[in-house]
Amino acid sequence: MNNTGVNAREVDVVVVGAGQAGLSAAYHLRRTGFEPERDFIVLDHAPRPGGAWQFRWPSLTYGKVHGMHSLPGMDLTDADPDRPSSEVVPEYFAAYERAFDLRVRRPVDVRAVREGTEGRLLVETGAGTWSTRALINATGTWDRPFWPHYPGQETFRGRQLHTAQYPGPEWFAGRRVVVVGGGASGTQHLMEIAGRAAETTWVTRRPPVFREGPFTEEFGRAAVALVEERVRQGLVPRSVVSVTGLPL
């Protein structure tokens, strides 16, 4: 593909990803007067609405998630806390896309972004090429999970799983399991697996911080504010658990 954008469809903005960030961006583009398909396009790799939530493990019910902000313009209300979050949130995202007529294109793989002419970008996908003045990257991390390297990793003969591949606690019955990480996912996995595994070992980078007392809404808002403040400063955000501590 050359940089002339021959046969490319022209829009002002391409949004890549239709999770919370992508849908929020599309909503605000709509509010500003941009029309989907004519002025902007939302491309999503996933086969259906829901962002990364559609891939969460079944035992993660909506009542167990550590909080989710509603999307702008439409609250998520009356969700059953006992239903899997992988059902509740995708249904909400799908309703949101319909309510604001966002016309997300899926499944579409973005393969490359290149410089075009006259300051435009060429977004090459499996469904064709778009020429755009601006691109919003809202891809998230779920499709490209980070695997840290451990000495001996290559010769370990057991099964290694990332949170993105977590099959549920039943798979670990009778096994010796090491859980690496002290964030929300790691602690939730540990609590589920411990009752079924033959043995569990928990490995964290720093000693876990435990706290007493109720987890009030005010405490939760203060914890979120601390995480957001680091992001605004351009720093790597700390995990929610590192800010809130773990309940005794």
* Of 48, 40, 50, 47, nearest in space to 16 by CA: 40
The single residue listed with the structure tokens 């700390």 is: 238
Closest of 133, 109, 125 to residue 1, by C-alpha: 125
Over range 4-33, report the average pLDDT: 93
- Mean pLDDT (the chain) is 89
The predicted model gives 172-186 an average pLDDT of 91
Least Cα distance to 39 among 22, 14, 57, 16 occurs for 14
pTM above 0.85, yes or no: no
* Mean pLDDT, range 22-27, rounded to an integer: 98
pLDDT at 1 over 60: no
C-alpha 107/C-alpha 110 separation (Å) is: 10
Residue 82, CA distances (Å) to 19, 88, 216 in order: 22, 10, 21
pLDDT digits (tens, 9 = 90+) for 203-212: 988 888 777 7
The predicted structure's pLDDT at residue 78: 87
- pLDDT for 5 equals 60
Ramachandran assignment for 68, one of left (phi > 0), alpha (psi -120 to 50 degrees), beta (any other): beta
Q: What residue ranges define each of the domains in the chain, with the CATH number in brackets?
A: 9-137 (3.50.50.60), 163-203 (no CATH), 210-247 (no CATH)
Q: Measured between alpha carbons, how far is residue 215 from residues 64, 94, 211, 245 in Å?
A: 13, 31, 9, 10
pLDDT attached to residue 184: 80
The mean pLDDT value for 99-114 works out to 96
